[in-house]
Chain A
């Protein structure tokens, strides 16, 4: 049987070429795999949800009530065996995807793995994280309960606050002035067909490029086996670890989904005239906090085009993403990076990353402005001063703990071996 297949599919060549790929052994290298597995879980749970969901806001009769069809179909999903658990798993897997992708990005940043020759994969990775957040947002809208309608409405209005082109773009993606009868079908197509296809294709490209370029090697590999690739082969060792990891993720997400039900639509009810008092999911809190902090006076009109405080909600993430895209291009290098750089060897970069993280945390605190009784002034101090102070302290500590002399004697490993 094996021989028969091999003669036709050249399996042994594939085995030699792909199945012997070496995976470096370090726990932080699993973050990318966790992201990929949460995508697989999202697709699997998403198949179940998609075949039971009705993308429409037309009113249907359910018992004595008139409910939007989308809302009623989510009620139906929740009533199926394990329906609510699967819907919750889908919700939590999206959170895991975004969290793991973000941490994976931080790992790449701290170890310099975005440098030549891996700039393309850095860009693909950033695009993946951005698309994942958009996918999460479009997923919000689908149950069409009071919470989801509010969150989507806010997203629509943020998009349409872009000067000149904003209202056109927003109407294109949301099917007119949200909510119209076109909105949910269009957001459904984006969420269930086009974004998964794009994200799937980008994950494929990301993994393929990683395969072609090989992983960065951990520092110890340089001492143990210089100029050789060190790690465990994909088959069977790494594949076993991956299988176990995937099984553990499914188990944990099922447990969490069973214990903590996501988006209880009946708690919020179908959309009504009043707005429920809600906060978005954790990955939007920093932006939400920022929207609250912008003073009312920050608006002006240029050539009859109104630029208001809500536009900041588009501006900040755009600037951050563009800065992220430009990051490897700002640090051109002649050599190909082969071994990871230790965060301690690059105090400026490490301190900058810590500063950016502080910014996200400070803006997230802004989301709890009223609950914590903070003033706008204090929040601005936190958001601007916090990253600067924490970054400076991190830099100082890094310089003190790892003096420059120690870094130099650490050897040439930080900058790669020429050639590769």
Chain B
């Protein structure tokens, strides 16, 4: 590049000022030198591009691997029709509808596949809480999914995914200990106070041969945000 500049600039900078344009014909050697330089530049550009692409792609792969692959084990399968329920803190014991008192604090449990015997406690998203009411107290949307007055909800708060494990005895509401979201278990898990944006997902329950069981998956998506 500096060579080119000199050649075009020299006529204007002619010290004699006679205005004669001095055009220097490039010699053969110059031409060859130029070609070699151009070739080198091209080679270098290709090299740099390839190197950057390889490095960039490798870096992307490494960054991508920082997010672990989510593996779904049988313990993490979502609850399904026919699953029975076991106590979360004593997973060998089946939950019976008759064990549950009406209008008392919710019971935390996990679904269990009766055929394979797998307790689906591998993820908090399978945590179900049960409360029991006099069936006449249940709202029209909730009553069809209850079994002997027992209603089931996802225990995962829709605000920031804490377990809704407290009980507001005064109102008969389920209470999240984290940011005090309140949910009415009689009315489809409706938000009664606090910051939770959505109602708790309901899970339909049924009685099969005198045993309390799940009648299908959660009716809305489980989890927060």
Contacts and interface: CB of A to CB of B under 8 A. Distances in A.
Interface of A: 150, 153-154, 157-158, 160-161, 166, 168, 171-172, 175-177, 180, 182, 272-278, 288, 291-299, 306, 308-311, 369-370
A299 B194 CA distance: 13
Contact of B179 (A166, A292, A306): A292
Contacts of A154: 160-162, 178
Residue with the greatest number of chain B CB neighbours at <10 A, chosen from A154, A161, A168: A154
Interface stretch (B2-10, B65-73, B92-100): B65-73
A65 to B, nearest CB: 14
A172 B161 CA distance: 19
A234 B188 CA distance: 69
B179 A273 contact: no
Residue with the greatest number of chain A CB neighbours at <10 A, chosen from B67, B127, B176, B193: B67
Contacts of A157: 160-161, 224-225
A354 B161 CA distance: 35
A369 B89 contact: no
A419 B203 CA distance: 74
A231 B177 CA distance: 53
Nearest to B164: A275
B216 interface: no
Nearest to B159: A310
Contacts of A153: 160-162
A296 B225 contact: no
Contacts of B164: 275
Contacts of A291: 159-160, 179, 195
B181 interface: yes
A62 to B, nearest CB: 19
Given A154-B160, A308-B225, A176 B70 contact: yes
Contacts of A175: 68
Contacts of B88: 272-274
B143 interface: no
Contact of A296 (B70, B163, B197): B197
A310 B155 CA distance: 18
A288 B178 CA distance: 9
Contacts of A274: 88, 108, 163, 165
B68 A150 contact: no
Nearest to B124: A273
Contacts of A166: 225
30 contacts: A153-B161, A154-B160, A160-B225, A161-B160, A166-B225, A172-B67, A175-B68, A176-B68, A182-B68, A273-B124, A273-B127, A273-B155, A274-B163, A275-B165, A275-B177, A276-B177, A291-B159, A291-B195, A292-B179, A292-B194, A292-B195, A293-B195, A296-B181, A296-B193, A296-B194, A296-B195, A298-B197, A299-B197, A310-B160, A310-B195
Given A275-B178, A296-B197, A158 B67 contact: no
A110 to B, nearest CB: 34
Contacts of A168: 67
Contacts of B176: 275
Contacts of A288: 179
B113 interface: no
A56 B166 CA distance: 29
B182 to A, nearest CB: 10
Contacts of B155: 273
A309 B159 contact: yes
Given A177-B70, A273-B108, A273-B127, 4 more contacts: A275-B165, A278-B177, A296-B197, A310-B197
B191 interface: yes
A309 B157 CA distance: 13
A313 to B, nearest CB: 8
A308 B68 contact: no
A308 B163 contact: no
A182 B166 CA distance: 30
Contacts of A311: 225
Interface string B150-177: 0000010001111111100000000011
